[in-house]
Structure 1
């Protein structure tokens, strides 16, 4: 594991568990097993580190979504939450905590959410055999976002409920 990978992993864990503002650079350096000087050399600023963590996490999550149906999409989400925890979307938590004052975070959130919506559109196109309309894509994205948030206090049943609703939308689109 190279130093950047170790740093990103340690930072992701701390940000996910403790938040972005509450996690200081000294704590990050200690968790990554490096000096503060080395941390700044590799991370640049804390905001750049947050953006790198979000980008890495987003890539990891999107890789899990190489599926051919909305049902499999929700199954992948449930699997992710079983392994990673159900604390809500780290991107939306970053945006909520840091607001639009941190441009690196805002850019990372917007870029990821656009890629995520594109991924959902591709899955729906594979499942329906035609280009999915924008309204259906938006509905499924909102169901996933809602299930991700609700799972933090309702558990994985929220994902199962959203999966059923998405399946009904897909069936209706087929008619």
Structure 2
């Protein structure tokens, strides 16, 4: 594993476990097994490092959400929760923790959420056919995001409850 990959992997674990504020550069250097000079050379700053971590996480997350139905989307998020998302959404936690005061972090988070919403809109439209499905997309988005956060204390099975609720919404939309 190259230095940058090693740093990103260690940083993701630290940010996910401890949050942005509690993850100091000293903790990052220890976790990555590198000097602070090397860390700064590859990261620039803690905020820039978090944006790179989020960008890498987004690629993995969105790849897992390449599905063709809403039902499959909830199955995919349950898998994600079991494998990587035990602490809730790192994107929203990062935005909340920084209060939107770190524009580079806020930009990455908002871009990710917009991309996911667009992807969800595509999935809903593919299932229901052409037409305006904005309200339904929003409702399913809230179920999806809620499942991710409820999984923190209820476990990955929270996605199954959201999946059942989404199925009801889709049945009603088809009727």
Map of 2:17 onto structure 1: 17
The Cα offsets for residues 26-80 of structure 1, whole Å up to 9 and x where unpaired, read as: 2112211211111101111100011111111111100001101111100000001
Q: How does 1:108-147 map to 2 (within 5 A)?
A: 108-131=108-131, 133-147=133-147
Task: Give the 3-state SS of the residue equivalent to 2:108 in structure 1.
Answer: helix
**Rounded Cα–Cα distance in structure 2 between residues aligned with 1:25 and 1:124:** 42
Unaligned runs of 5+ in 1: none
**What TM-score comes out, normalization by structure 2 length?**
0.95
Assess if the C-alpha contact under 8 Å between 2:85 and 2:148 holds in 1.
no
List, as ranges, runs of 4+ consecutive aligned residues in structure 1 with deviation greater than 3 Å: none
**Rounded Cα–Cα distance in structure 2 between residues aligned with 1:150 and 1:138:** 18
How many residue pairs get matched?
175
**Rounded Cα–Cα distance in structure 2 between residues aligned with 1:106 and 1:53:** 13
**Rounded Cα–Cα distance in structure 2 between residues aligned with 1:106 and 1:85:** 20
Q: Which moved more, 1:44-53 or 1:124-133?
A: 124-133
| Residue 93 of structure 1, CA deviation | 0.6
Q: How does 1:90-169 map to 2 (within 5 A)?
A: 90-131=90-131, 133-169=133-169
**Rounded Cα–Cα distance in structure 1 between residues aligned with 2:3 and 2:155:** 35
Map of 2:32 onto structure 1: 32
Task: Give the 3-state SS of the residue equivalent to 2:15 in structure 1.
Answer: helix
**Rounded Cα–Cα distance in structure 2 between residues aligned with 1:28 and 1:5:** 13
Task: Give the 3-state SS of the residue equivalent to 2:100 in structure 1.
Answer: helix
